[in-house]
Structure 1
Amino acid sequence: MDRANQKIEQQMTVLLRRVQRIHLSTASGEVHLERSAYGILCQLADEGPQRLGSLAAAFGLDPSTITRQVRALETAGLAARTPDATDRRAAILDLTPEGREALTRTRAHRRSRMEQIMSSWSQTDREEFGRLLEQFNSSADALMDGR
């Protein structure tokens, strides 16, 4: 592994710890969203209602794991299943109004924290960082999906 890749690997480890700290520091209000709940709610908000199998694939998780996580969201009133109109044996998961509100509040707190963290960065640096993160995520997805 060359020095650049070593530094990237090291900084990714640091980034994971920082992301956890940001997650914990942005929990507020009556609803505390676990990381998995936040991820599922974001996926539904950004990509629209989905079957549980699609969610499992999106996160690279076993369907039983997603089912447990979704059940917790349903119990909390943040997501609900409805029958799939194209296949009545399947269900589609979507945000409830309460889930959408909880996600909106949580995202606002997170985005405010990101604004504080990056307040000294130029707009060009922010855009470049976003572009590089997107490129990294696309490359990781391609590798994991066998493309």
Structure 2
Amino acid sequence: MPGGREESVDTIQRELTAFARRARAAAARLHPELSFVSYALLSHIDERHGCRATDLATHYMLDKSTVSRQVAALEKLGLVERRPDPADHRVHVLHPTEAGTRALSATHASRRAAYQERLADWSTEDLARFAAYLLRYNRNT
């Protein structure tokens, strides 16, 4: 177990980096045509029942050109479509296509199974505590 506060922060940083690398590799295995960023954007669009590209850039703290390239790739794969915003016809809202929703469903089931397997020996209390810590951590970003 880590000792002081600084050592704990160093351990957290190292382990979150390892977690991100594993997540990126898992995303590539689950849907080879989607990068981790593309998968994250598609998931976000689906969870929000549509959103603007600028909302994605703001939420993920990405450059608009990065989001534009990723959205173009998702469109090319037929996973995302643009629809006029009913409130402002100058703006387009991104929505998952049926193919996008199917890809997310299949990937979600595989990811959930992988997490279930990896966390199988954790107690219910440990899982609840870890989930609460992640929510707390992400709420501050």
Q: TM-score, normalised by structure 2?
A: 0.88
Tell me the number of residue pairs that the alignment of Structure 1 and Structure 2 aligns: 137
What is the CA RMSD across the aligned residues, in angstroms?
1.6
Higher relative contact order (CA 8 A, sep 6+): 1
Q: Determine if contact 2:27/2:39 at 8 Å carries over to the other structure.
A: no
Instruction: From 4, 11, 16, give the equivalent of 1:7.
Output: 11
Q: Would you say 1:71 and 2:72 are equivalent positions? A: yes
The structural deviation recorded for 1:82 is 0.8
Q: Determine if contact 1:42/1:103 at 8 Å carries over to the other structure.
A: yes
| Identity within the alignment, % | 31
Q: TM-score, normalised by structure 1?
A: 0.85
Taking the aligned partners of 2:11 and 2:19, their CA distance within structure 1 comes to 12
Unaligned runs of 5+ in 1: 142-147
Residue 102 of structure 1 aligns with which residue? 103
Taking the aligned partners of 1:45 and 1:89, their CA distance within structure 2 comes to 22
Residue 17 of structure 1 aligns with which residue? 21
State the SS of the aligned residue for 2:90.
strand
The structural deviation recorded for 1:23 is 2.5
Taking the aligned partners of 2:57 and 2:17, their CA distance within structure 1 comes to 24
Residue 38 of structure 2 aligns with which residue? 37
Task: Give, as a single letter, the amino acid of the residue that structure 2 aligns with 1:99.
Answer: G
Taking the aligned partners of 1:95 and 1:16, their CA distance within structure 2 comes to 24
